[in-house]
A and B are shown apart, each in its own frame.
Chain A
Amino acid sequence: MKAVRLIALSLVLALMIFPLLWMFRVSLMPPGAGLSLEELISPALSLLPYQDILTSGKMALFFFNSLLVGVVVTVANILFCFLSGYAFARHPFPGRRFWFYSVLFVLMIPSHIVIVPLYIMLHKLGMYDTYWALILPFAVNPIGIFLVRQYLETLPTSMEEAARIDGASELQIIFKVVMPLCKPALAVLAIQVFLTNWNSFLFPLIFTSSESVRTLPVALALYQGHQAIDWSHLMAGSSLAVIPVLAVFLVFQRQIVSGITAGAVRQ
Chain B
Amino acid sequence: MKSISISFAILALLLLLQCGGGKTDGVVIEWWQFWTDPAIKPTIEKMIADYEAANPGVKINITDLTWANGHEKIVIAFSSGTAPDIVELGSDWIWEFASTGQIAPITDEVVKDTSLFHGWTPATLDSQIYAFPWILGTRVLFVNNALSTRAGLKDKYVPANWEQMKLLCYKIDSLGEDIYGFGANAAEKHTLYKKFLPFYWSTGGRIISEDGKYAVISSDRCYQALKFYKELSDSCGMIDTQRRLEDAFLAGKVGVIISGDWLLKRIKRGNINIDFVTSLIPGPEYPGKSFVGGEYLAVSSKSPHQREAIRFIKYLTSKENQILFCKTNYSANPSHKEAALDPFFKDDPNLMTFVSQLRLSEFPPPDPQWVYIEDIIETMLEEILFKNAPMVETLYEARNKIQKLIDSK
**Direct A–B contact in the complex, CB atoms closer than 8 angstroms:** yes
Of residues B8, B34, B72, which shows the largest number of chain A Cβ atoms within 10 Å of its Cβ?
Answer: B72
User: Main secondary structure on chain A at its contact with chain B?
Assistant: helix
A222 to B251, CA, bound (A): 25
Q: Is the CB of A56 within 8 A of B38?
A: yes
Within 8 A of A (CB), among B1-31: 3-4, 7-8, 10-11, 14-15, 18
Contact partner of A210 among B63, B73, B260, CB < 8 A?
B63
A123 to B32, CA, bound (A): 17
Q: Is the CB of A205 within 8 A of B73?
A: yes
Q: How far is the CB of B238 from chain A (nearest CB, A)?
A: 13
Q: Which residue on chain A has the smallest CB distance to residue B7?
A: A72
Q: Is the CB of A34 within 8 A of B243?
A: no
Q: How far is the CB of A217 from chain B (nearest CB, A)?
A: 10
Tell whether A115 pairs with B67 under 8 Å between CB atoms, given A72-B8, A72-B11, A75-B4: no
Q: Is the CB of B4 within 8 A of A33?
A: no
B36 in the interface, Cβ–Cβ < 8 Å?
yes
Residues of the B chain whose Cβ atoms lie less than 8 Å from the Cβ of A135: 11
Q: How far is the CB of B4 from chain A (nearest CB, A)?
A: 5
Q: How far is the CB of B248 from chain A (nearest CB, A)?
A: 8
Q: Is the CB of B260 within 8 A of A227?
A: yes
A111 to B271, CA, bound (A): 43
Q: Is the CB of A206 within 8 A of B73?
A: yes
Q: Which residue on chain A has the smallest CB distance to residue B295?
A: A226
B69 in the interface, Cβ–Cβ < 8 Å?
yes
Q: Is the CB of A131 within 8 A of B14?
A: yes
Q: Which of the segments B76-84, B297-305, B306-314, B387-395 contacts the partner chain?
A: B76-84
Q: Is the CB of B269 within 8 A of A32?
A: yes
Residues of the B chain whose Cβ atoms lie less than 8 Å from the Cβ of A79: 4
Q: Which residue on chain A has the smallest CB distance to residue B82?
A: A123
Q: How far is the CB of A81 from chain B (nearest CB, A)?
A: 14
Within 8 A of B (CB), among A154-184: none
| Contact indicator per residue, chain A 102-138, by CB within 8 Å of chain B (1) or not (0) | 0000000000000110011001000010111001000
Number of residue pairs A-B, CB distance < 8 angstroms: 90
Q: How far is the CB of B24 from chain A (nearest CB, A)?
A: 15
Q: Which residue on chain A has the smallest CB distance to residue B271?
A: A32
A227 to B263, CA, bound (A): 8
Tell whether A205 pairs with B63 under 8 Å between CB atoms, given A68-B10, A75-B4, A229-B243: no
A254 to B262, CA, bound (A): 49
Within 8 A of B (CB), among A198-243: 201-202, 205-206, 209-213, 218, 221-222, 224-229
A205 to B260, CA, bound (A): 28
Contact partner of B270 among A33, A36, A115, A132, CB < 8 A?
A33
A24 to B369, CA, bound (A): 44
Q: Is the CB of B63 within 8 A of A75?
A: no
Q: Is the CB of B262 within 8 A of A227?
A: yes
Residues of the A chain whose Cβ atoms lie less than 8 Å from the Cβ of B73: 205-206
B407 in the interface, Cβ–Cβ < 8 Å?
no
Q: Is the CB of B14 within 8 A of A205?
A: no
Q: Is the CB of A222 within 8 A of B64?
A: yes
B167 in the interface, Cβ–Cβ < 8 Å?
no
Tell whether A228 pairs with B11 under 8 Å between CB atoms, given A32-B272, A120-B80: no
Residues of the A chain whose Cβ atoms lie less than 8 Å from the Cβ of B272: 32
Q: Is the CB of B11 within 8 A of A131?
A: yes
A35 in the interface, Cβ–Cβ < 8 Å?
yes
Q: Is the CB of A68 within 8 A of B14?
A: yes
Residues of the A chain whose Cβ atoms lie less than 8 Å from the Cβ of B263: 227
Contact partner of B63 among A32, A33, A115, A209, CB < 8 A?
A209
A35 to B250, CA, bound (A): 11
Q: Is the CB of A228 within 8 A of B266?
A: yes
Q: Is the CB of A34 within 8 A of B251?
A: yes
A89 in the interface, Cβ–Cβ < 8 Å?
no
B52 in the interface, Cβ–Cβ < 8 Å?
no
Tell whether A131 pairs with B8 under 8 Å between CB atoms, given A218-B66, A224-B67: no
A72-B8, A131-B15, A202-B72 known; 12 new pairs, CB 8 Å cut-off, are: A32-B269, A35-B247, A75-B3, A75-B4, A128-B82, A130-B15, A206-B73, A222-B36, A224-B68, A227-B242, A228-B246, A229-B243
| Minimum-distance CB pairs A-B, first 7 | A32-B270, A227-B262, A209-B63, A221-B66, A222-B36, A226-B67, A120-B80
Interface of B toward A, CB cutoff 8 Å: 3-4, 7-8, 10-11, 14-15, 18, 32, 34, 36-38, 63-64, 66-69, 72-73, 76-77, 79-80, 82, 242-243, 246-247, 250-251, 260, 262-263, 266, 269-272
Interface of A toward B, CB cutoff 8 Å: 31-36, 52, 56, 68, 71-72, 75-76, 79, 115-116, 119-120, 123, 128, 130-132, 135, 201-202, 205-206, 209-213, 218, 221-222, 224-229
Q: Please list 17 pairs of residues, one from A and one from B, whose beta carbons are closer than 8 Å in the complex, sorted by A's number.
A: A32-B272, A33-B270, A68-B14, A71-B7, A75-B4, A76-B4, A115-B76, A120-B80, A123-B80, A123-B82, A131-B15, A132-B15, A135-B11, A201-B68, A206-B76, A225-B37, A227-B243
